[in-house]
Structure 1
Amino acid sequence: MKVTKSELERIAVDREHYPENGLPEIAFVGRSNVGKSSLINALLNRKNLARTSSKPGKTRTINFYLVNDMIRFVDLPGYGYAGVSFSERNKWADIVNEYLFKRPNLRAIIMIVDIRHEPTEKDLIMYEFLKAYDYTSIVVATKADKISKGKWQSNLKIIRNKMNLKDETLLIPISSSDKINIDKLWEVIDGLV
């Protein structure tokens, strides 16, 4: 898809503040500081539409991005950041769960992991949750530019085995900064919406 228009449409913490019309939505989930905002910016060919930060836990709301007036990208709060209180983490979980369980126009979830590291226990829990509730999920391994291309397959194999991914097409290495496989991910998104 060629992106000609993209904007932050709405920031919400509950259903009453979600955008109302029924455009298809693609949600992005992942650990804090794994590169969700950078990936959204790369897909939209924008630099700072989705706010990035070197400080984990920056996204504490659900951010809805309108793309070409046709679909929405939905940036969900990151999980696994230990620098906030237990009650704050529970509040984030409630915000995410309300969206996932009660949003009828959700078409797919892009789960983001870091290609350089084994998935964490929280990554595994999130992926099992997505499978248990039969969400259409794509796993994206970000920061592919941070390792040599020769190490991609071995690192992807570790991720695939740890997460018990069966379908080879479910795991896509990505570099937001170098735009590696951004077109490939768009092809998958186009097929879903």
Structure 2
Amino acid sequence: MLSTVTSQTPSLPAHDNPTVVRLFEAAADAFADKGFHGTTTRDIASRAGLSPAGVYVHFASKEDLLFQLSRVGHVAARDALAAAADEAASPTDALQEVISEFARWHAEQHQVARIVQYEFRHLSPEHQREVLTLRREIDAVVERIIAEGVASGEFDVDDTRSTALAALSLVVDVARWYHPGIKRTTPESIANSYGALALRLVGARRD
């Protein structure tokens, strides 16, 4: 089950068009270096080996590129987490696997994750609403696992929604603080720690 999330959660959002993938990669690098407002379409195009006009073949604007990067990234995360939850043997296994592997991804791909999670405010209201809908669907995956764990007696939780949001908020924050130079902190150790933390959060115990 652990491999389910790892194999289905890409380093960057997947796409059928390799030029779009190059633009996603270039935009992620540029936004990380300069921030959304400091990045120009020319910056993105240059990093992708295209002319500025080449960006507009695929995206209406810099904001549209950020939106598509965020949208495809959230869809990939939602589908990967849902698949892992469905294949787990129990709610305890599901919660540990989903949270640990989501945390690992936020560490391994911290640059992309930081953009997807924290550049949200630069999206238009319409695009923000669409991304928020996807975020609620991700929340619902974890909330469902916790509700099933309460029903089976594996978890002791009074408010499944608040607990799910707390667990996911911890994971998302990894992208804010993690960088590879932190001593004795690796994506693997983060995955293990956060998976165990999620189980403590719901009152579950491993025999």
Superposed pair shares fold, TM > 0.5: no
Q: Highest CA radius of gyration, 1 or 2?
A: 2
- Structure whose residues are more often strand by fraction: 1
TM-score (normalised: structure 2): 0.34
Q: Give the structure with the larger helix fraction.
A: 2
TM normalised by structure 1 equals: 0.36
